Amino acid sequence: MIIGVPRETKPGERRVALLPAAVRELTHQDHDVQVETHAGRAIGLGDDAYRDMGATIVTARDAWDADLVVKVKEMQPGEELLAPRGCAVFAFHHLVHEPERARTLAARGLTAIAWEMMRDGRGHYPLLSPMSAMAGRMAIGVAAGLLGHPPTRVLVLGAGQAGLAAARAARTPASTVTVVARSEKSRDAARREAHADK
């Protein structure tokens, strides 16, 4: 299978869909991985890091000319024209509220595989969990910036990945953190975590 990794074009997006270690795994399974030149530059990964793992460094056009294109953000206007008919594009598509974009992809004969909709055997979203945890940690930093000091009384709504990460980040000897959970299961998870640190 030919797997293409184009450079992200959405303004402000610095990530790259595959790291060199993932490319090595794919090339060891006899897949042809084509990475657009400078795809990893924004996160400090040069073309040689990918080339050393077996990738071919290509132009944007060639990165899109693949059986499977792997990217981070949703396809930007005009990118659907770069992908050949029948190509599968694995990305954060966010198509739920974008019916026009969904119709455009369908009309081009593209298969959209959404990172955000992938579930594991337990029904969890493993590709969203790390970002949810990051957002929870960042929320406390944002609050501290707005207040001018770390918050001492924190109310966290929800005990999922983001909520528990926020509670962890807010917890200091000088703070009081209250977590409100929607279900008994998430409430119990929050309690277990709180008692684990004692």
**Catalytic residue (choose from 31, 38, 93, 94):** 94
- Clarify whether 195 is annotated catalytic: no
Q: How far is CA 27 from CA 6, 54, 60, 82, 129, in A?
A: 17, 6, 20, 23, 27
Which DSSP string corresponds to the chain?
A: -EEEEPPP-STT----SS-HHHHHHHHHTT-EEEEETTTTGGGT--HHHHHTTTPEEE-HHHHHSSSEEE-SSPPPTTGGGTSPTT-EEEE----TT-HHHHHHHHHTTPEEEEGGG---TTS--TTTHHHHHHHHHHHHHHHHHHHTS--SEEEEE--SHHHHHHHHHH--TT-EEEEE-SSHHHHHHHHHHHHHT-
Whole-angstrom distance, CA of residue 187 vs CA of residue 158: 9
Catalytic machinery residues: 94
